[in-house]
């Protein structure tokens, strides 16, 4: 009676595997690096398909492009030049102008600044007096923007504290949870009088994600313990004529009648850039100077920046292309004005972690409790449902839900559980096989298990490669050995030998005592069966040599394993009564393989290969001819081979082959050459015996020789 198998074991193992998977996914999804980059790029692909009302927002980019630099003068421009350009923009009546160009420190290049420098160096009051009447870049710039809706840029300084210019107040209604906000020690920016003339000051700095791509602009930063707005947010505030910011409970930033949900890092996730949108909202700076864009700029929010590489404003965007930073700031303003703000709320990580665990449970329960097809459909439906839910969350609420971790969790849990249950099923089937293999060959059990109607297979003619093995001196060893040790050693030997034959595509046709009968190319076709049979013989030789050196086999005096291989036509099929079916082969090749195995004793070889196998090998160069051998049942002597030993050099092999070629016509010369080789290789028993046979042939040639 078959043993009973516990059904709880595989399910418990599957549950443990699913739990481990969930833990791994939780760790991975909360770690920085490759997974975060993959998730962000998946978000990019989802955002590309999302409608973007911001594409039609009243935002214009005035671009100091290469053509404008060629017409208006190469960079760097003086502050007077920038002031003139900003004045032309303001003359069109925009809502606000955000300057995505860092104007840092006091102007050192204007005539007034140079005169003051000379006065310092020379101590001359004349230069000081003259400076007051010369053009001053900072004064000109401050005058151009004073009382106008112009927002200047600041750069974050991670090292140097600085005196922070006055900014619009930011009011907090309750505690603010912004654990991921960008922090810096100080800022660098325009001199005091220019900063005081500006309607607002915003942070220009942009930070890339783990893959270096700019997907976000900072709405707020923490500088020296104080919150400061980003350039896009500040430009929007000035354009809406709001006097302050209010961070309300629930993570909402208000300015005037605009409400912006803010994420834990206080950034705005940008929509992927589209060339057509950027081109439509962009005006070259040279056209503004010519007065050709007054109607376009009127009533719009204008961002001034540059796409020219020499200004250093190009940034890697989410799609992998280089985009001017001013375009990223313009996209942020457009999204703020139109309410497009994809985000990951503070609580979403906890929900996703719970979903990962739940998905792992769903995968486990489906695979453990349902048929394979139904379980697979449940896992796929769960994964697809989560993905669709993530897409709907983005479309309906602009919430970025991780679309990867949960589907991976449910599918991987389903796969792991299915594999665990299947492995347990295979173990139970193996126990069943072991039970019936006391009466049936393992291969026959497999075929009957696949198709029970094949209780007796019809015979067929096949070409097959046959492998016979035998342990030298086995009978004598059994007579002097301890029975317990002998059975233990023999069990190991038989298991290893069976595994080697099966691993090379062969079938263990019989085990007779210590000997194996192996079939290659039966009962199913096996391409290259002769090659596989010879490779199996070599593997058996290597194994048997190692095995004989192990402590217990060595104590028993376990002999070497001899192998015979031959290829030819055989008849194969099931033979036996109703209680004993045996898949067996009959034919001359079987007899020849058995006699080749026995011939190893007189040849001194471990492997003896017949001519039928040799003729089918893809690489006959591995065979060493051992001359012709009279085999009972064959009318003529047959050429036999063993495998070249690794210790024989290519030169010695050539000498050996030349001697074999001379053996029939000049046996004495052949014997002399072989004797020299044998003397140089005393461990090569087969070579020594072959040399002796050729020598005897030279002294006693056959009657027809």
| 417 pLDDT tier (thresholds 50, 70, 90) | confident
Q: Select from 278, 309, 338 the last residue of a domain.
A: 338
Domain with 469 in it: what CATH number? Answer: 3.30.70.1230
Residues 221 and 301 in one domain: yes
Is the pLDDT at 436 greater than 70, yes or no?
A: no
Beta bridge partners of 516: 511
Examine residue 656 and state whether it is found in any structural domain, yes or no. no
| 660 pLDDT tier (thresholds 50, 70, 90) | confident
At residue 127, the pLDDT reads: 47
Q: Select from 338, 372, 403 the last residue of a domain.
A: 338
> 13-17, 298-302, 448-452, 548-552 — which is least confidently predicted?
448-452
Q: Select from 289, 308, 338 the last residue of a domain.
A: 338
Examine residue 662 and state whether it is found in any structural domain, yes or no. no
Residues 463 and 586 in one domain: yes
Residues 372 and 422 in one domain: yes
Examine residue 384 and state whether it is found in any structural domain, yes or no. yes
- Coil vs helix vs strand at 652: helix
Is the pLDDT at 377 greater than 70, yes or no?
A: yes
| 318 pLDDT tier (thresholds 50, 70, 90) | confident
At residue 319, the pLDDT reads: 82
> 33-42, 169-178, 415-424, 435-444 — which is least confidently predicted?
435-444
| Contact (Cβ atoms closer than 8 angstroms) between residue 283 and residue 330 | no
Most confident of 19-28, 321-330, 511-520: 321-330
Beta bridge partners of 316: 322
Share of the chain above pLDDT 90, in %: 44
CA distance 524 to 133: 104
Examine residue 299 and state whether it is found in any structural domain, yes or no. yes
Q: Tell me: the pLDDT tens digits for 166-207?
A: 788 888 887 767 888 999 999 999 999 899 999 999 999 998
Average pLDDT over residues 396-412: 88
> What are the CA-CA distances from residue 186 to residues 183, 367, 581, 660 (Å)?
9, 57, 89, 91
At residue 123, the pLDDT reads: 57
Residues 564 and 517 in one domain: yes
- Coil vs helix vs strand at 70: helix
Domain that holds residue 12: 8-47+345-435
At residue 700, the pLDDT reads: 67
Three-state helix/strand/coil letters over 688-703: HHHHHHHHHHHHCCCC
Average pLDDT, the chain: 84
Share of the chain above pLDDT 70, in %: 84
Residues 332 and 421 in one domain: no
Average pLDDT over residues 440-444: 51
Average pLDDT over residues 54-61: 93
Q: Which of 467, 494, 499, 464 is nearest to 573 (CA)?
A: 464
Q: Which of 439, 477, 472, 207 is nearest to 316 (CA)?
A: 207
Is the pLDDT at 1 greater than 50, yes or no?
A: no
Residues 415 and 511 in one domain: no
Q: Which of 495, 500, 473 is nearest to 556 (CA)?
A: 473
* Residue that wins the pLDDT comparison between 24 and 253: 253
At residue 214, the pLDDT reads: 92
Q: Tell me: the pLDDT tens digits for 585-637?
A: 889 999 999 999 999 999 999 999 999 999 999 998 999 999 888 887 777 88
Is the pLDDT at 422 greater than 80, yes or no?
A: no
Residues 215 and 87 in one domain: yes
Residues 152 and 280 in one domain: yes
Is there a cis peptide before residue 72, judged by omega within 30 degrees of 0?
A: no
Examine residue 681 and state whether it is found in any structural domain, yes or no. no
At residue 30, the pLDDT reads: 57
Q: What is the token pair recorded at 345?
A: 């709320």
Residues 63 and 159 in one domain: yes
Residues 288 and 364 in one domain: no
> 226-230, 453-457, 671-675 — which is least confidently predicted?
453-457
* Residue that wins the pLDDT comparison between 428 and 84: 84
At residue 5, the pLDDT reads: 33
Residues 552 and 532 in one domain: yes
Residues 129 and 169 in one domain: yes
| 640 pLDDT tier (thresholds 50, 70, 90) | very high
Examine residue 628 and state whether it is found in any structural domain, yes or no. yes
- H helix count then E strand count, the chain: 26, 26
Three-state helix/strand/coil letters over 602-651: HHCCCEEECHHHHHHCCCHHHEEEEEEECCCCCCCCEEEEEECCCCCCHH
Examine residue 98 and state whether it is found in any structural domain, yes or no. yes
> 66-75, 364-373, 380-389, 575-584 — which is least confidently predicted?
575-584
Please count the structural domains in the chain: 3
Q: Which residue has the tokens 């930070």?
A: 207
Q: Tell me: the pLDDT tens digits for 66-88?
A: 999 999 999 989 899 999 999 99
How do 638-643 and 623-629 pair as beta strands? antiparallel
Is the pLDDT at 96 greater than 80, yes or no?
A: yes
* Residue that wins the pLDDT comparison between 681 and 698: 681
Examine residue 489 and state whether it is found in any structural domain, yes or no. yes
CA distance 30 to 35: 9
């Amino acid at each position: 009676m078959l043993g009973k198998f516990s059904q709880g074991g595989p399910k418990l193992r599957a549950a443990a595997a699913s739990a481990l998977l969930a833990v791994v996914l939780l760790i991975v999804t909360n770690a920085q690096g490759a997974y975060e980059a993959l998730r962000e790029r998946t978000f990019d692909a989802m955002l590309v398909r999302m409608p973007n009302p911001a594409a039609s927002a009243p935002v214009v980019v005035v671009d100091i492009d290469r053509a404008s630099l060629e017409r208006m003068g190469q960079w760097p421009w003086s502050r007077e030049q920038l002031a003139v350009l900003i004045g032309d923009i303001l003359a069109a009546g925009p809502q606000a102008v955000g300057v995505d160009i860092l104007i840092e420190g006091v102007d050192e290049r204007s005539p007034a600044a140079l005169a003051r420098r000379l006065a310092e160096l020379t101590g001359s009051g004349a230069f000081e007096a003259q400076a007051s009447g010369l053009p001053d870049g900072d004064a000109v710039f401050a005058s151009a923007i004073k009382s106008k809706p112009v927002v200047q840029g600041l750069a974050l300084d991670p090292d140097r504290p600085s005196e922070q210019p006055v900014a619009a107040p930011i009011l907090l209604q309750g505690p603010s949870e912004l654990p991921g906000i960008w922090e810096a020690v100080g800022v660098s920016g325009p001199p005091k009088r220019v900063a005081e003339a500006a309607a607002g000051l915003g942070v220009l700095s942009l930070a890339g994600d783990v893959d270096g791509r700019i997907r976000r602009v900072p709405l707020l930063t923490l500088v020296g313990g104080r919150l400061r707005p980003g350039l896009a947010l500040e430009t929007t505030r000035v354009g809406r004529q709001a006097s302050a910011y209010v961070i309300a409970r629930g993570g909402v930033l208000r300015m005037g009648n605009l409400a912006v949900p803010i994420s834990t890092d206080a950034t705005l996730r940008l929509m992927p850039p589209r060339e057509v949108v950027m081109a439509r909202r962009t005006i070259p700076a040279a056209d503004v100077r010519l007065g050709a864009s007054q109607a376009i700029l009127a009533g719009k929010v204008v961002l001034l920046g540059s796409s020219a590489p020499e200004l250093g404003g190009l940034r890697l965007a989410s799609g992998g292309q280089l985009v001017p930073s001013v375009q990223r700031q313009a996209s942020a303003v457009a999204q703020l004005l139109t309410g497009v703000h994809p985000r990951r709320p503070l609580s979403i990580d906890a929900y996703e972690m719970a979903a990962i665990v739940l998905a792992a449970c769903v995968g486990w329960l489906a695979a453990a409790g349902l048929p394979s097809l139904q379980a697979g459909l449940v896992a796929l439906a769960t994964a697809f449902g989560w993905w669709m839910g993530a897409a709907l969350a983005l479309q309906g609420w602009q919430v970025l839900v991780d679309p990867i971790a949960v589907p991976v969790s449910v599918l991987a849990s389903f796969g792991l559980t299915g594999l665990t249950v299947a492995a347990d099923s295979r173990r139970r089937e193996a126990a069943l096989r072991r039970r019936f293999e006391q009466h049936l060959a393992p291969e026959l059990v497999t075929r009957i298990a696949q198709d029970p109607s094949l209780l007796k297979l019809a015979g067929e003619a096949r070409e097959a490669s046959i492998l016979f093995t035998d342990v030298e001196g086995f009978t004598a060893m059994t007579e002097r050995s301890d029975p317990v040790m002998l059975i233990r050693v023999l069990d190991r030997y038989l298991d290893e030998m069976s595994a080697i034959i099966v691993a090379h595509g062969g079938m263990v046709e019989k085990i007779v005592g210590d000997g194996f009968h192996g079939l290659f190319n039966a009962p199913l076709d096996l391409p290259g069966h002769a090659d596989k049979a010879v490779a199996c013989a070599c593997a058996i030789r290597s194994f048997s040599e190692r095995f004989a050196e192990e402590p217990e086999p060595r104590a028993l005096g376990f002999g070497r394993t001899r192998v015979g291989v031959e290829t030819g036509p055989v008849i194969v099929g099931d033979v036996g009564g109703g209680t004993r079916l045996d898949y067996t082969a009959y034919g001359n090749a079987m007899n020849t393989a058995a006699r080749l195995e026995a011939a190893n004793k007189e040849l001194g070889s471990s492997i003896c290969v017949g001519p039928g196998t040799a003729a089918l090998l893809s690489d006959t160069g591995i065979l060493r001819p051992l001359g012709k051998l009279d085999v009972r049942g064959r009318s003529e002597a047959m050429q036999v081979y063993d495998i070249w030993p690794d210790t024989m050099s290519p030169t010695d092999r050539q000498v050996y082959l030349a001697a074999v070629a001379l053996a029939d016509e000049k046996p004495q010369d052949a014997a002399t050459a072989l004797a020299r080789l044998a003397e140089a290789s005393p461990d090569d028993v087969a070579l020594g015996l072959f040399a002796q046979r050729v020598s005897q042939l030279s002294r006693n040639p056959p009657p027809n020789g």
